[in-house]
Structure 1
């Protein structure tokens, strides 16, 4: 199965030489979970044309520094249209962070900058429902995050399966049976999670950054989540 990674952003410049780009993070995530895919990357944020989503085997929409309200980006409205066509065609689709938000926005949800501020480091999400792909009895899953924006109201077609007090709509499963999205980043490793948090120091309260860095001492469920997502995408 080939996954087409719709790249919507870049690793911040100060971190790029050490951590590279986002698409390889997804490859490493799935490889570590023992899930094998072929990959192609379409850098729409850099002007690459969108493929036809109904002709693809699977889609990932990546994170981005952009917000869904940043409509000065020429690729933003075409991305919404792409998501709607993919959804109607039931092409397997995963959105992460910005990808989670733009999927919700395109399909009728409400996304805004949260009054709660930055979510950084390892957050714990309650498992609110157990769809068949989520092969765990754990009451909660810990996954890295880095965001200010949130899905405030999910689309009518989406059901919440992961939630926290900070992020009530952290994991959405869509009713077409082929789309899923996550606010946290299972593709982030610990070093990158820490580096992103430290990059916010001076712009975010020190106690938030310190808490984010300390949170990484607790093992995450990112590899487990990668396996669950891989199973879902394979259908």
Structure 2
């Protein structure tokens, strides 16, 4: 299966030599589950032209430091791309910013949350179980790093992951071809910790320390990654 990765942000420069780009993190995530994937890359935030989504097999939209409300030249074309892909039933996954821009493009509301930063490992309640998550436990512990949130999901979206801090943390769409999550299953713990430490001044010492301590909770990223692969297999079939 060929996955087209739409990279919408860059790993911060101080961390890039060690951790590489977000596209590579997703490739490693998928390759850890199966060796059946191939990848194309479109660096959207560098203004690479967006191909016709109807010619794609599957799409991943990455995280980004940008907000859906930012006046950037690539934001509106990406919205139009998402709407066209959704209308054509092309399997599509959004993570963090990808989760937010999908919701925004398809009729939801996204903004910077008054709750502030969500960082560290959060435990997300599984509130609905699509077929590809039929064996999901009661909760999934996944790394996150965000200020913006989906405040109101699109009408076509069902909430599948939720916390009191991030009520709309996972969305599965009624066409059964679109899925998105606020947390980052593609992040390894060393990167998630390094990212929170890089943002220590913005977070404040107390929140940064809590984020660091939260990584003592075992990660469920591998399990969520398996669900994502099963989603793509089901949606492409």
Which TM-score tier does this pair reach, normalised by the shorter chain? over 0.9
Q: CA deviation at 1:204?
A: 1.2
Matches within 5 A, 1:28-67: 28-34=28-34, 36-67=36-67
Matches within 5 A, 1:155-234: 155-234=154-233
The aligned counterpart of 2:102 is: 103
Mapped to 2, the partners of 1:128 and 1:53 lie a distance apart of 31
Answer yes or no: is 1:117 the counterpart of 2:107: no
Specify the SS of the correspondent of 1:15.
helix
Mapped to 2, the partners of 1:146 and 1:37 lie a distance apart of 27
Matched-pair contact (CA < 8 Å) for 1:145–1:185: yes
Q: Which structure 1 segments of 5+ residues have no match?
A: none
Q: CA deviation at 1:18?
A: 1.0
Specify the SS of the correspondent of 1:203.
helix
Pairwise CA RMSD:
0.9
TM-score after normalising by structure 2: 0.97
Q: CA deviation at 1:34?
A: 3.2
4+ long deviations beyond 2 Å: 33-36
Matches within 5 A, 1:62-81: 62-71=62-71, 73-81=72-80
Specify the SS of the correspondent of 2:151.
strand
Specify the SS of the correspondent of 1:122.
strand
Mapped to 2, the partners of 1:227 and 1:77 lie a distance apart of 31
The aligned counterpart of 1:7 is: 7
Q: How many residues align?
A: 234
Q: CA deviation at 1:30?
A: 1.4
Q: Which structure 2 segments of 5+ residues have no match?
A: none
TM-score after normalising by structure 1: 0.98
